[in-house]
Structure 1
C-alpha cells in the first residue's frame, strides 16, 4: 500500500524536537501569539523575501484579512479563478464583495492572464490569482494588468510555500500574499494556521489589528476586528519546521523528476513547470479523460490518490447564486473532470514513485485507457459544447 499522504512518518522523525518546543510553550504559559509566533513570523517573512509576516489561525483567515486590508468591501468585485479550494471565493464573500471568475490556462492550470482585462469593471477592487498545486501563476502579465488599472493584487499562495517565479518567491510579487499551514501543506502545522506576508508596512499593520479584535493595545480597539490569532503551539511547531522546509521541498522536486521521467515513457501528460519557475509540488496531478476508471484501478492496486478539485467552485451548490453555470469556464470544468493527484510527500521513496507509475501503465493496458495529452482549450471545449 502506498498512501496518498503520510504525515506520521514526518512526525516520527521530528517527535523529540516537537515535544521540546511544545513543552517550552507550556512552560512559558503564553498560548496565543507571543514569542513563539513572533519568532515564526520573522523566519517565514525572511523565507518569503518580504518585510512583514502576520500569523493567523487559518489560510481562509489570511485571505479574508488580506482583502479587507486592501480595501475590499461591499459592492466591490474581485477577479479570481474557480479552480481552487472554496476558501478563496469564501474570503471574497466574507468582505461583502463579488467574486468574478476567469478561466485558467490549459497547460499551466492557473489564471489565464489574457482573460483578465475583459473581466474588469469600475467595481473591480482586486485580482486574486491562485498558485495551484505548488506552481505559481504567470505573474508578470497579471501584475501588468493590475498596475495598468490601479487594482490591488492579492496572491493565494496556500499551496506554494517556497515556490518561485523568475527568481521571486510566492507571496512577494503582489501587494500581499496569503498562506495556509493546514497539516497536509508543504509547511504544515498540528491543526489550522495561516499567514499574510507583504512588503507594505501599512497593510501589515492593518492585518495585525484585524486579527486581534482591532486592538492597537489591550482594550483599545481602533478597528472592528476578528479573533484570527495564531496559537503559540502552532507558531512553535511551524518555526521548528522552517529548518526543514527547503530539504523537504527539494525531496518533492526530486520525486517529481522521477514521475516526469516514468510518465513520459508511457505518454502520460505531466504537470507543466516552465524553466523560469520553481514548482514545489504540493500536489503532483496528472490529467486523464477516464480519470475515475484510472483512480479505481490504482485503488485496487493499493495506490492512494486524490482529486484537486472534482467540482470547481462556480458549480458548487453553495455558490450557485453567483450566477455561473456549466460551460462558463470550459477549461476549468474539463480539468476538474480530468485531474488525478498521485502520492507526493517528502518521505515517499523513489522506488515507490516507480511502482505508482508501473500501476498506471498496467491500468492503461488493462482498461484500454489511452494516456492523456492535455485538457482542451476554451475554444476546443466550446466547439464540443456547441455540438451537444
Structure 2
C-alpha cells in the first residue's frame, strides 16, 4: 500500500483474512461458513443485533458478569438490556437461565457471552432459538480458538483487540452460517451503502442507516501476521495456564474456585475465586505493595453502573453477585516466568490463609 500509494475499502488483505478465518471455522463444521470483518467487536455486536430487524426498544438479555461493551452495544442498537443471572459454576448465561428470564420479561433476543474465553454451546442455543423464537448472538470477544460455530443460525462475534489471542491492534469479525446476516453486517459497516447489484436498491445508494465500521487494510495486515503465529502461541499460552494453575492448586489446596468447562485453547486472562471477599481485599493489598497488578473482572456488575447509560431491566442475579464478591484476575502474559508465578502464588497463599475457605467446584 505504501509503495503503490493505493488504499481501498474491503481490500485484498481484508479479503484474505476473511478467507483464512472462514477456512479455519469451516474445518470444525459441516455447514457453509461466512466471515465478515469489522473495526471492533463492540460494533460487530451492535451491527449483528441490527441485522436481526427486531422492533425498536425490544428487550435483549445480557449476563450480569461481562464487559460493559456487551450492554452498550445493545443500547446503541436501539434495544433495552435485560440483565440476567449466570450459572454459579461456569459463570455463563445458560439456556435454562435465559428461558426463565424470557418468561419474566418477554425478551426478544439475547447476547450470550463466552466469558473469559469459555465457550458457549451453539447447538443448544440454536435449539433454544427455535423453541422460543428468541434470537441469539454470541459475544465471543475473548474466545477465538475455543468457540466454534456448530449451528448455522447463531452468529458469533470475535474481537481482535490487542489484549486478545488474535490481535490486530483493534478489530473484530462475525462468523455465521447465515449469509444474509453477514451481508447486512458488511453493508451496515459501510454506512449502509448497497454494494450488491441484485439487492433491489441501486448500487451506491443507502439501503439502511449504517455506520463506519470497516476493518482497515493496516489492521488486516497485523491480523494476518498474528494468524501466522497463532497456533504456536496458543500452545505457549496453554502450557503457561496449566503450569500457573498447578502451582496455585499445590499452594492453596481447595480454597480456590475455578470456572468450570473446557479451558480456553489460547487463554489471555487468568481468573479465579479466592473463597471470600476478605481474601480478595488481602490479596489486592499484598499485590499493590509488591507492584503486582490485579483486576476485578468484570466489576462492577452491569446493573451497578450509572443509570445514565440508559433504560435497563434488572432481574435477580444472586449467583452473579456471589461470584463477584471474591473473583480476581491475576497477571497472565506470554513469557511469564516461573519466578513471577511463584511470587503471585505466595501472595495468594498469604491472602487466603487468614480467611475461611470455600469448597472447590469441579
Question: Superposition RMSD on alpha carbons, in Å?
Answer: 2.5
The 2-side partners of 1:213 and 1:109 are apart by: 36
Return the offset for 1:180.
1.6
**3-state SS in 1 of match to 2:158:** strand
The 1-side partners of 2:210 and 2:122 are apart by: 31
Equivalence for 2:154:
175
Q: Which moved more, 1:97-106 or 1:215-224?
A: 215-224
Return the offset for 1:206.
0.8
5+ residue gaps, structure 2, are 27-31, 196-202
What is the aligned counterpart of 1:111 among 75, 93, 104? 93
Equivalence for 2:296:
307
Note the 1:74-89 alignment, pairs <5 A. 74-89=56-71
What is the aligned counterpart of 1:250 among 235, 256, 259? 235
**3-state SS in 1 of match to 2:120:** coil
Note the 1:138-287 alignment, pairs <5 A. 138-164=121-147, 169=148, 175-190=154-169, 192-217=170-195, 219-265=204-250, 266-267=252-253, 268-274=255-261, 278-287=264-273
Equivalence for 1:55:
37
What is the aligned counterpart of 1:330 among 311, 318, 331? 318
In the superposition, the TM-score normalised over structure 1's length comes to 0.80
Aligned residues: 342
What is the aligned counterpart of 1:316 among 287, 305, 309? 305
Return the offset for 1:113.
2.7
The 2-side partners of 1:75 and 1:112 are apart by: 23
Equivalence for 2:108:
125
State the Cα deviation string for residues 266-310 of structure 1 (Å, max 9, x = none).
1242433435x6554222101122212212212222322222112
The 2-side partners of 1:175 and 1:200 are apart by: 8
Return the offset for 1:355.
3.0
Counterparts in 2 of 1:85 and 1:309: CA distance versus 1, 3 Å: same
In the superposition, the TM-score normalised over structure 2's length comes to 0.85
Counterparts in 2 of 1:370 and 1:247: CA distance versus 1, 3 Å: farther
Equivalence for 1:101:
83
**3-state SS in 2 of match to 1:66:** helix
What is the aligned counterpart of 2:341 among 353, 361, 365? 353
The 2-side partners of 1:174 and 1:109 are apart by: 24
**3-state SS in 1 of match to 2:117:** coil
Counterparts in 2 of 1:47 and 1:70: CA distance versus 1, 3 Å: same
Return the offset for 1:207.
0.9
Counterparts in 2 of 1:208 and 1:321: CA distance versus 1, 3 Å: closer
Return the offset for 1:321.
3.7
**3-state SS in 2 of match to 1:109:** coil
5+ residue gaps, structure 1, are 1-23, 376-388
Counterparts in 2 of 1:211 and 1:171: CA distance versus 1, 3 Å: farther
The 1-side partners of 2:271 and 2:359 are apart by: 13
Return the offset for 1:200.
1.1
